[in-house]
Chain A
C-alpha cells in the first residue's frame, strides 16, 4: 500500500538530518582533527589546520613517549582519579543521605558551608593546602592528591546526590524498616541501588575533575612517580620551543580514557539527566 509522503514530512526529515550532521561534526570534528594532526609534521600543522597528513607515521607518538614520561603519568592519573572518585562518592553519599533524610540542628549550616565552598577560587587554596600537605607528610604522594581532589569535588557531588536521595520515596525505606532492615542495610541494599544514576553522575564528574586537574598536581607533587597526565601535556611547548605533532599524539593518548568512561556510562548519564523529568 503506497502512502503519500507529505512535503512537510520530507522537509522535516531534511532539517533533522542537517541538524544531526551539524551536531555530529562539531562533536566529533575536533577529535578527528586532533587525531589527524598527530600524524602531521609541525610544518603541516602550522601551514594548514585541515589538510590531511602527507604520510601516516607514528613519529609523533614516539616523540611523545620520549619527551615525557607519559605512561608513568597515565598510571598515576588512573590510580588517583579512581581512588579520589571512590573516596568522594562513598563519603559524600553517606553525608548526602543523612542531610537529605534527617533534620537536625546544624544541617542547614552544613549545607550553607558546602555551598559557600563552591565560591572559593581554587588559586586561593594553593598555598594553605601546600602547607598542610607538607606538614602532614602528604606532599609528593598519590594519597595527598587523592584526598585533595576528593575534597575539591565534595560540594558538587554532595548536591547531586542530595537531590537524588530526596527524590527516592520515603515509603520504600519505611517498608524496609518494617521488614526488619537496619539503617545501614537499608542504605546499602535499597537506597544506593535506587540512586545509581546519581552516583554515576557524581562519579563521572569527580573522575573527570580529578583526571583533568593541573594546578594542584603541579604544586603538590615533585617526582615523576607521582605526577599526573595533565602535567605531561606541558612537556611539548616551552617559551621558545614546541612540538605540536608530539603534543597532539599525547592528547590522543590522554583523551581516550574520558571517551571510554562516557561510552561505558552514557546510559547512566542520560538516565540521570532525565530521571526527574517524569512524575509517578
Chain B
C-alpha cells in the first residue's frame, strides 16, 4: 500500500514537472519587438505588486499591454512580479542598499522617498518642461511627493477615505444616524455591543492599517491634530492629541473589537466585516469592489454598506506617494519618464477609477461607470471640514514598522498610551 501511495505521489511529481516544462508563460515580462526596427530598444525595469489577487492586477495588465503597443520597438517593459507590499518594500530596501534600484518604483503608497531620495531622480525639471503634464497633477499630490523644491514622485491616485458601516447591523442596534462626535461614536459602539454586535474591525499586523486609520482620524479632530496628520515625518509623538487617540484605540482593542484583532492582519479585519461579525471598518474605496464579490461577501452585501466621514467631519483626503524614477542613464530616465507619464495619464486614472474605485489624483478625471459608494466617498472628501493624510505616506518607514510591534502591547495593557507614543518617538529619533 505504501509503495502504491509512493508511486502515485512520484507520478504526480513527474506530471507537475512535465506541466512546468510547457511553453505557456504567464509572465508579464517580455515585449516582443515586432516592428523590426534596428533602433536600440530601451528596457525599463519595473517591479510591481499588482499581480495575483491584487485588486490592481487587471488594471496593470491592461496598462502594460497598451504601453507595449504604444512604444513597441522603442521601449520594453521588464516587469518583475513581487506579490505582497511588504515583500516589495523589503526587496527595494535591499536593492537600494546595493545601489541597484530599478528604473521605476511604485510602492503602493509606502513612503520610501525619505529613505531613498539620494538615489531618486528629481522630476521637477521634467515637469517644468511639460506644463500640460504638471497641470494634471493635484497640488496635494505634488506636495506629498516633493521634498523642498524637488519632486520625487508622480501620483496616480489620491487617498480619500472614511469608514464603511453595515447599515443592517446599525438598524438592528437601533442606530439611525451617523455619529457627529467621537463621544457619539463610542455611544453607538455601546449600542452595537448591547445588540450582540462587535462594533469594530481592527488589526495590528502589517502596520495595522485599519486600526491606524482610526487612530489618525481621532488625532485629526482638532486643529493641532489636523496639523499633526498633515505634517511629514513627525519625530515627536508625545503630543496630547496623539496620546488621547491612543487611549481610545486601547479602549477599542480591549472592549469593542474581535479577539483576532491583536496579531490579526487586514484579511482578518475585512473578513469579519464581510461576514457581518463587525459593524464598522476603516478603509479606502478600493474595498468597495469586494463588497460585490460573492466569493468574498454574501450576495447583496454591497447594498447593505454605507460610507461615512469620521466624527467631526474628518476625512482622509490627501495626495499619495506615486511612481518614483531611479534610472541612472539619460536614455533610461527618458524611457522611465515616458512610462510614468503613461501610467499617470488621465486615461490610466480613469480606467483605475472604473476598475478599482481608486480616486484619481488628476482633478479633471471623472467617470459615470463607478459604484455609488465611490461617488459618495469622493463627495464626502470634498465636503470634509478637516482633511488629513494617512500615516503610511507621512511617517518614517521605521515608525510604520514599529507600530505593529507596539499595538499588541497597547491592546493587552502592557504599555500605556503615553509609553506607546514614547516608543514611536524613540524610533522616529533614529532617522537623521
Alpha-carbon separation in the docked complex, A244 to B268 (Å): 12
A244: chain B residues within 8 A (beta carbon): 267
B19: chain A residues within 8 A (beta carbon): 71
B27: chain A residues within 8 A (beta carbon): 69, 223-225
Alpha-carbon separation in the docked complex, A45 to B290 (Å): 16
Chain B residues touching A, range = 35 or more
A130: chain B residues within 8 A (beta carbon): 94-95, 98, 100
Whether A236 sits at the interface, judged by CB under 8 Å, is yes
Whether A222 sits at the interface, judged by CB under 8 Å, is yes
Whether B172 sits at the interface, judged by CB under 8 Å, is no
Whether B42 sits at the interface, judged by CB under 8 Å, is no
Known: A238-B55, A239-B266, A240-B286. 19 other contacts (CB 8 A): A41-B295, A42-B271, A43-B275, A68-B83, A69-B26, A130-B98, A130-B100, A218-B87, A223-B29, A236-B52, A238-B53, A238-B83, A239-B209, A240-B55, A241-B290, A242-B53, A243-B53, A253-B16, A263-B2
B266: chain A residues within 8 A (beta carbon): 239-240
A35: chain B residues within 8 A (beta carbon): none
Alpha-carbon separation in the docked complex, A172 to B104 (Å): 63
B286 to chain A, nearest CB (A): 6
- A68 & B13 in contact (Cβ 8 Å cutoff): no
Which listed segment binds B: A106-114, A158-166, A198-206, A254-262? A254-262
A246: chain B residues within 8 A (beta carbon): 53
A-B contact count (CB 8 A): 142
Whether B379 sits at the interface, judged by CB under 8 Å, is no
Known interface pairs A224-B29, A263-B2; A237-B84 also in contact (CB < 8 Å): yes
A237-280 CB contacts (< 8 Å) to partner B: 237-246, 253, 256-257, 259-260, 263-264
- A68 & B52 in contact (Cβ 8 Å cutoff): yes
Contact with A along B259-274 (1 / 0, CB 8 A): 0000000110011001
- Residue positions of A touching B, CB distance < 8 A: 41-43, 46-47, 66-69, 71-76, 78, 126-127, 130-131, 134, 215, 218-219, 222-225, 231, 234-246, 253, 256-257, 259-260, 263-264
- A67 & B53 in contact (Cβ 8 Å cutoff): yes
- A235 & B51 in contact (Cβ 8 Å cutoff): yes
B160 to chain A, nearest CB (A): 15
Alpha-carbon separation in the docked complex, A239 to B206 (Å): 8
Alpha-carbon separation in the docked complex, A41 to B6 (Å): 30
- A47 & B20 in contact (Cβ 8 Å cutoff): no
